[in-house]
């Protein structure tokens, strides 16, 4: 279970900044996979960072009894001066991997499919290669909830299919909170949805209802407030 309570986040710059997320609240039940839906800049990646503990809210809190991954697909967090292998070893040790460390590293290396780059500094990687490494490293751990930021759009078609299969395998005992623009992927992997718009968030029990609401908002047929009034958040 993940409970988001009165969560707010803004990024401060030289000219100030509005609220990316403004007093949002909803609860993700245990073993329910959720799609985060919204326009570019609506706060999907920000919410994933907050859920994964990579960032902190300005107001409100997140309560959870689950082991939550960092956002797969985001390249932040790796040390650019270290090789892929060194990064994997470092993260493994932080998470308490002591036995079978060599086997753990090979597992990540095989999944990432970045060849000789695995032993070169991460600063030399393309964004796609960083995401592949991040993907393989995340899936090497047994999390209760996996966070995904467009992770299934990384790489060529063969790797995207591999990523999708990996998620499906994990869903037998875990769940996913996924930000993706591909509606087919959201329908295939997610049961419920959260629509983000203008700092607000609305929970939908059914992913189809969430996508329908997003279409109405995008087409100008309805505002986010109309769904906030009729949907429990």
Q: How confident is the model at residue 233 (pLDDT cuts 50, 70, 90)?
A: very low
- pLDDT higher than threshold 90 for residue 37: yes
Tell me the average pLDDT of the chain.
Answer: 89
List of residues 6+ apart from 221 with CB closer than 8 A: 215
Rounded distance between C-alpha atoms, residue 35 and residue 50, angstroms: 16
At 127 the pLDDT is 79
Please answer whether residues 66 and 142 qualify as being in contact, where contact means their C-beta atoms are separated by less than 8 angstroms: no
What are 118-129's pLDDT values in tens digits?
999 999 998 778
Residue 49 main-chain phi, psi, to 5 deg? -60, -40
What are 39-59's pLDDT values in tens digits?
999 999 999 999 999 999 999
**CATH architecture for the domain at 1-65+178-233:** 3-Layer(aba) Sandwich (3.40)
Q: How confident is the model at residue 229 (pLDDT cuts 50, 70, 90)?
A: low
Please answer whether residues 178 and 148 qualify as being in contact, where contact means their C-beta atoms are separated by less than 8 angstroms: yes
Please answer whether residues 59 and 7 qualify as being in contact, where contact means their C-beta atoms are separated by less than 8 angstroms: yes
Please state the domain extents for the chain. 1-65+178-233
pTM: 0.86
Lowest mean pLDDT among 85-89, 137-141, 191-195, 202-206: 137-141
- pLDDT higher than threshold 90 for residue 102: yes
At 71 the pLDDT is 87
**Residues β-bridged to residue 171:** none
At 232 the pLDDT is 45
Please answer whether residues 148 and 72 qualify as being in contact, where contact means their C-beta atoms are separated by less than 8 angstroms: yes
Q: What are the helix (H) ranges across 43-124?
A: 44-51, 84-94, 101-112
- Which is nearest to 147 in space by CA: 2, 25, 11? 2
- Which is nearest to 194 in space by CA: 21, 20, 57, 34? 34
Strands (E), the chain: 2-10, 19-28, 34-38, 59-64, 68-72, 145-149, 175-179, 192-197, 200-204
At 181 the pLDDT is 84
List of residues 6+ apart from 92 with CB closer than 8 A: 101, 104, 105, 140
Question: What whole-number percentage of the chain has pLDDT above 90?
Answer: 64
Token duo for residue 52: 């994964």
Question: What whole-number percentage of the chain has pLDDT above 70?
Answer: 91
Per-residue pLDDT averaged across 27-34, rounded? Answer: 96
What are 145-198's pLDDT values in tens digits?
999 987 666 666 777 788 888 888 888 899 999 998 889 989 999 999 999 999
């Amino acid at each position: 279970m993940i409970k988001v309570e009165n969560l707010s986040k803004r990024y401060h710059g030289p000219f100030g900044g509005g609220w990316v997320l403004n007093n949002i609240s909803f609860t993700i039940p245990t073993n329910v996979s959720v799609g985060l839906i919204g326009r570019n800049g609506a706060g999907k990646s920000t919410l994933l960072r907050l859920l994964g503990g990579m960032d902190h809210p300005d107001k409100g809190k997140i309560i959870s009894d689950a082991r939550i991954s960092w956002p797969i697909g985001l390249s932040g967090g790796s040390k650019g001066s270290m090789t892929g292998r060194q990064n994997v070893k470092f993260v493994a040790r932080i998470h308490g991997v002591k036995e079978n460390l060599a086997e753990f590293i090979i597992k990540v290396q095989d999944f990432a499919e970045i060849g000789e780059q695995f032993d070169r500094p991460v600063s030399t990687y393309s964004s796609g290669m960083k995401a592949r490494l991040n993907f393989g490293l995340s899936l090497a751990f047994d999390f209760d909830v996996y966070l995904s930021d467009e992770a299934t759009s990384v790489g060529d078609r063969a790797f995207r299919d591999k990523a999708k299969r990996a998620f499906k395998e994990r869903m037998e005992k875990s769940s996913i909170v996924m930000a993706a623009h591909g509606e087919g992927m959201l329908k295939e992997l997610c049961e419920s949805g959260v629509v983000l718009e203008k700092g607000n968030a609305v929970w939908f029990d059914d992913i189809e209802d969430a996508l329908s609401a997003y279409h109405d908002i995008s087409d100008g047929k309805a505002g986010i407030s109309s769904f906030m009034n009729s949907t429990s958040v």
